[in-house]
Chains A and B, each alone.
Chain A
Amino acid sequence: MGIDFIIAAIITVVGLTTPILLAGLGELVVEKSGVLNLGVEGMMLMGAISGFAVTVFTFNPWFGVLGAAAGGALASLLFAVLVLQLNSNQVATGLALTIFGTGLSSLMGLSFTGRIVVPFLSVFPDSLAKHEYLQLIFGYSPIVYFALIMVPLTTWFLKSTRAGLILRAVGENDLSAHSIGYSVIKVRYAAIAFGGAMAGIGGCYFSMVITPMWAEKMTAGRGWIALALVVFAGWRTGRLLAGAYFFGILMALELYAKASGFSFLPSQFWAAMPYAMTVVALSFISSRGTAGANAPACLGKPFLPST
């Protein structure tokens, strides 16, 4: 087992991790604002088809990524109107968004089935991007670097900026934030749109990078893993990054174990691991009592001010 082997395996892990990291990061911000959006899968699919379609028309993957962000954000705004303006149940509306996004993306994708685009790979020169060792650093799609940069940026935003503080306040105690003059609804609109855009970019990683094509339901449930990831991470960005790579390594391990002929654990066990680990993490968090209970206090509750 040489160094090449390990590098190739790491590149596979990065590919498996990046979409759930992006979608998870977006959902983390949404949940920090007190909104639970279970529509991640639908938004990822909307991003996947939007990004692919824009790339087909413009021949420019950078516009494609913007299109994916717009597609995901537009889908999420539909959810936002329902839960923020009409106070509909967030769980039911989120699930509806997944179903809606799946259906609408299939409809939009009808005329794109069977087409391909040039994969949106590394923009570094081949001497770096295809170098035997340096590809470990330079061999990725720009979306991978974007995802990695967004982790510290989101941390900084939530922890050190005034806007981030307001967002967290809205998520922890919406009535108090409202009473001192912050617009809970506007903050949540922005958070939901951000979550949608990030899920959309995560989705287009499938349709523009890994397998540069469009196919119905091509995200194949990664949105649900992203949702589990946010809980697994205890709503902390650093842990979200670690958790995303942990999940990515688990997914790659399953494949490597199978391809190497190991059968010490049934494959269903591997497939269930991300969810099983989330349950373990949740139990661990709640067993530490209130000190570890990191969930935003207003998560999933409608905002109903008396005035």
Chain B
Amino acid sequence: MAEDASAIPVLRDLAQQGCKLIFTTSYGYMDQTLQVAGEFPDVKFEHCTGFKRADNVSTYNSKFHEGRAVLGTIAGKMSTSGVLGYLGSYKVPEVVLGVNAFALAAQKQNPAATVKLVLIDSWFDPPKEAAATETLINLGCDIVTTHTDSPGPLQILEQKGLHGFGQGADMSAFAPNAHLTAIEDIWGPYYVERTKALLDGSWASTDTWDGFKEGTVVIAPYSKDVPADVAALADGVQAGYKDGSYDIFTGPIYDQDGNLKVKEGEVMALGDLAVMDWFVKGVESAS
């Protein structure tokens, strides 16, 4: 479905067919979901990655940035140039968090690591993603991670003999050698949980933001190119998130201009993360 007004009749149709719980799984369906939810107060809606809620509209999201911390750890340790590429879509909190988590985690392994950021103003534009990847490589990046949807960048990295990560799913089929690992978004358990809640009458409008601990964020198997010591570090980050001992957004954190934004020992609150609009030190970006 296109992320425009054409989603409205489809949602209405689903509601009229008798669906009692409707998941709208992209940010671009936000206002359409709210509108149709207003017309069908007895139907429950679940909107993914949005921030508008109602009595019958919940929102749910995933802490993708926890996965980015794992990728950053691997990239920081494996990069020989210390210059990492980050190909993103738009400057929205999800991407900002991803960039910052990636950069901070890389700097834990290599304090001098920098992250070059290119935002291409699209979630999906394979030729532009490919060209942007070539650009980042030409500017010295030897590992490029993507926050857009196509496997195009991985295919460029494969041709150049460099490394990168899959986005949203295991993309190793597209680039068997370049693909180090991937962040996988696993929504199944959440769908089951919410459906059970509807059936037993406990459904309420909520705002869910799950991560490694709840199993929404999963890291794909590491490729053979990830050395054992790097894999152990990456596993450590995952384990830390699961038992609550690790949070990449722990101070001291400086912004791009070197101002101290988060004091030593402080951990950024979820509310602050949700609206984060500044990049950390070591991120080279145009905006």
Question: Which A residues lie at the B interface, using CB under 8 A?
Answer: 5, 8-9, 11-12, 15-16, 19, 114-116, 119, 121, 206, 210-213, 215, 217-222, 251-252, 255-263, 266-268, 271
Q: Is the CB of B124 within 8 A of A220?
A: yes
Determine if B118 is an interface residue (Cβ-Cβ < 8 Å).
yes
Q: Is the CB of A251 within 8 A of B131?
A: yes
Encoded as 1 (CB less than 8 Å from any A CB) or 0, chain B from 149 to 178 comes to 011100110010000000000000110000
Q: Of B120, B137, B150, which one neighbours A211 at CB under 8 angstroms?
A: B150
Pairs A–B under 8 Å by Cβ, sample size 18: A8-B134, A121-B159, A210-B126, A210-B131, A211-B127, A211-B130, A212-B155, A218-B127, A218-B150, A219-B127, A220-B122, A255-B132, A258-B118, A259-B118, A259-B132, A260-B286, A261-B116, A266-B287
Instruction: Tell me the smallest distance from the CB of A143 to a CB of chain B, in Å.
Output: 14
Q: Using CB atoms, name the residue of chain A closest to B85.
A: A259
Instruction: Tell me the smallest distance from the CB of B249 to a CB of chain A, in Å.
Output: 23
Q: Is the CB of B130 within 8 A of A116?
A: no
Q: Of A210, A211, A251, A267, which one neighbours B287 at CB under 8 angstroms?
A: A267
Q: Of B127, B129, B137, B287, which one neighbours A222 at CB under 8 angstroms?
A: B127
Q: Using CB atoms, name the residue of chain A closest to B154.
A: A211
Q: Of A11, A210, A266, A267, which one neighbours B127 at CB under 8 angstroms?
A: A210
Q: Using CB atoms, name the residue of chain A closest to B284.
A: A261
**How far, in whole Å, are A213 and B130 apart by their CA atoms in the complex?**
12
**How far, in whole Å, are A55 and B17 apart by their CA atoms in the complex?**
43
Instruction: Tell me the smallest distance from the CB of A140 to a CB of chain B, in Å.
Output: 13
Q: Using CB atoms, name the residue of chain A closest to B176.
A: A116
Chain A residues whose CB sits within 8 angstroms of the CB of B127 once the complex forms: 15-16, 19, 206, 210-211, 218-220, 222
Chain A residues whose CB sits within 8 angstroms of the CB of B284 once the complex forms: 260-261
**How far, in whole Å, are A11 and B128 apart by their CA atoms in the complex?**
14
Instruction: Tell me the smallest distance from the CB of B81 to a CB of chain A, in Å.
Output: 14
Chain B residues whose CB sits within 8 angstroms of the CB of A255 once the complex forms: 118, 120, 128, 131-132, 135
Q: Is the CB of A206 within 8 A of B126?
A: yes
Q: Of B138, B173, B285, which one neighbours A9 at CB under 8 angstroms?
A: B138
Q: Of B124, B125, B134, B286, which one neighbours A12 at CB under 8 angstroms?
A: B134
Determine if B121 is an interface residue (Cβ-Cβ < 8 Å).
yes
